[in-house]
């Protein structure tokens, strides 16, 4: 089954989990996700695939300990098996030679842009990765990202590393300074993706956002990941998770950001 080969906390409340899943590893592409169910009583949790090793037959994902389900996952140890582990799911990034590609990430997205940086660089693009956190000690995979990017630029809210502020502030500085991009990909919280999309619109830079953040069951049945993209209803889990950030109706996305907060609190209390 899907046995945990390695699991560690890489920053406060951020965990890295490597799982034996040779079939998923053999098919995974940058931008795809998997669904992990830790035990028979826990819910389906979509996780972006951050790395994989076809020789070892393992896949790695990063998760934030934020509610009851991820707390269950945090308690799993090396050698434990997932009740269910399914993937790869969702559409992969459209990897091609564009020129200069900017990858903007925060939180779980830092792990998610790692395979994208690798793939875009291998295609001959100049890859500039932007990694953000509230503070230096909350950043992770700096070395890995630097290894596969042409350049990594950091932003921290407290100014402990790189630009004081957010990755979109740094991107704004770079765009104003005349830096050119042929494609931008943003992965992280909805607000980060919204800000990046607003920023790149006047420059007419094709901007892809990864809407994994709004998914719940990842099957197309719960409806929680419903989006309006170019005036059409889409489901992040079955039609995405990647969409043109300039076409997404962000008012709807942002208004639903805390839609399940009360249920999350109840669930955590019961757990
Ligand atoms: Fe439930 Fe997409 S996550 S329908």
CB atoms within 10 A of CB 88: 20
pLDDT at 208: 98
- 81 plus 110 within the same structural domain: no
- 23 plus 108 within the same structural domain: no
> Which residues, at least 6 apart from 99, have a Cβ–Cβ distance to it below 8 Å?
125, 126, 180, 181, 182, 183
Integer Cα distance of 164 and 92 in angstroms: 32
Our answer on whether the CB atom of 124 is closer than 6 Å to any ligand 1 atom is: no
Residue with tokens 């291998």: 122
Residue identifier of the C-alpha nearest atom 4 of ligand 1: 220
pLDDT in tens, 154-208: 999 999 999 999 999 999 999 999 999 999 999 999 999 999 999 999 999 999 9
Q: Is residue 76 in a domain?
A: yes
Ligand 1 closest atom vs CA 214:
3
Our answer on whether the CB atom of 227 is closer than 6 Å to any ligand 1 atom is: no
Residue with tokens 């757990």: 271
Our answer on whether the CB atom of 223 is closer than 6 Å to any ligand 1 atom is: yes
pLDDT at 117: 98
Give the pairing type, strands 226-229 and 163-164: unpaired
pLDDT-based confidence at residue 136 (cuts at 50, 70, 90): very high
Average pLDDT rounded to a whole number, residues 230-259: 91
pLDDT at 191: 94
Q: Is residue 19 in a domain?
A: yes
> Which residues, at least 6 apart from 34, have a Cβ–Cβ distance to it below 8 Å?
21, 24, 46, 47, 49, 59, 61, 85, 86, 87, 88, 89
Q: In sequence order, what E strands does 42-89 have? A: 45-53, 58-64, 81-82, 84-89
- 109 plus 61 within the same structural domain: no
Distance 214 CA to ligand 1 centre (A): 8
Integer Cα distance of 213 and 196 in angstroms: 15
pLDDT-based confidence at residue 268 (cuts at 50, 70, 90): confident
Distance 158 CA to ligand 1 centre (A): 35
pLDDT at 159: 96
Q: How many CA atoms lie within 13 A of 226 on its CB side?
A: 11
Of 59, 89, 119, the one marking the end of a domain is: 89
Which residues are paired to 89 by β-bridges?
33
Integer Cα distance of 94 and 225 in angstroms: 21
pLDDT at 264: 76
Our answer on whether the CB atom of 99 is closer than 6 Å to any ligand 1 atom is: no
Average pLDDT rounded to a whole number, residues 92-109: 96
Of 89, 114, 146, the one marking the end of a domain is: 89
pLDDT at 186: 97
* Substitution candidate for ligand 1 out of 221, 233, 253 with most atoms within 8 A of CB: 221
* Substitution candidate for ligand 1 out of 48, 216, 242, 259 with most atoms within 8 A of CB: 216
| DSSP assignment letter at 248 | B
Distance 133 CA to ligand 1 centre (A): 27
Ligand 1 closest atom vs CA 221:
4
pLDDT at 166: 96
* CATH code, domain carrying 13: 2.40.30.10
Our answer on whether the CB atom of 220 is closer than 6 Å to any ligand 1 atom is: yes
Residue identifier of the C-alpha nearest atom 1 of ligand 1: 222
pLDDT at 216: 86
Integer Cα distance of 158 and 263 in angstroms: 31
Q: Which has the closest alpha carbon to 109: 65, 67, 146, 140?
A: 140
- 226 plus 115 within the same structural domain: yes
Lowest mean pLDDT among 62-71, 89-98, 120-129: 62-71
Residue 16 has pLDDT above 80, yes or no: yes
- The number of domains in the chain is 2
pLDDT-based confidence at residue 261 (cuts at 50, 70, 90): confident
Domain ranges, residue 151:
100-256
pLDDT at 230: 95
- 165 plus 42 within the same structural domain: no
Q: What is the pTM of this model?
A: 0.92
Q: Is residue 151 in a domain?
A: yes
* CATH code, domain carrying 239: 3.40.50.80
- 155 plus 250 within the same structural domain: yes
pLDDT in tens, 141-156: 999 999 999 999 999 9
Q: Is residue 166 in a domain?
A: yes
Of 89, 110, 126, the one marking the end of a domain is: 89
Q: Is residue 262 in a domain?
A: no
Distance 108 CA to ligand 1 centre (A): 19
- φ, ψ of residue 49 to 5 degrees: the values are -75, 120
Residue 131 has pLDDT above 80, yes or no: yes
Lowest mean pLDDT among 87-91, 106-110, 120-124, 230-234: 106-110
Q: Is residue 269 in a domain?
A: no
């Amino acid at each position: 089954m899907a046995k945990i080969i390695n699991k560690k906390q890489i920053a406060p409340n951020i965990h890295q989990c490597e799982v034996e899943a040779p079939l998923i590893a053999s098919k995974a592409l940058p931008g795809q996700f998997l669904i992990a169910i830790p035990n028979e009583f826990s819910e389906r949790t979509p996780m972006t695939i951050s790395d994989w090793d076809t020789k070892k037959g393992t896949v790695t994902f990063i998760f934030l300990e934020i509610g009851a389900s991820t707390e269950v996952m945090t308690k799993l140890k090396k050698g434990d098996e997932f009740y269910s582990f399914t993937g790869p799911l969702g559409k992969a990034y459209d990897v091609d030679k564009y020129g200069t590609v900017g990858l903007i990430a925060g939180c779980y997205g830092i792990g998610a842009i790692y395979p994208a940086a690798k793939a875009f660089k291998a295609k001959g693009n100049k890859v500039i990765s932007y990694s953000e956190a509230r503070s230096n000690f909350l950043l992770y995979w700096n070395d890995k990202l630097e290894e596969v990017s042409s350049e990594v630029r950091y932003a921290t809210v407290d100014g402990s590393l790189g630009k004081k502020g957010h990755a979109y502030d740094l991107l704004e500085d770079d765009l104003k300074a005349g830096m050119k991009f042929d494609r931008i990909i943003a992965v992280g919280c909805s607000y980060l993706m919204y800000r990046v999309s607003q920023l790149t619109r006047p420059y007419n830079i094709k901007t892809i956002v990864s809407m994994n953040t709004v998914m719940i069951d990842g099957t197309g049945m719960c409806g929680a990941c419903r989006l309006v993209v170019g005036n059409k209803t889409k489901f992040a889990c079955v039609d995405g998770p990647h969409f043109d950030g300039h076409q997404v109706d962000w008012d709807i996305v942002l208004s639903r950001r805390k839609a399940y907060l009360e249920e999350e609190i109840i669930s955590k209390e019961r757990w």
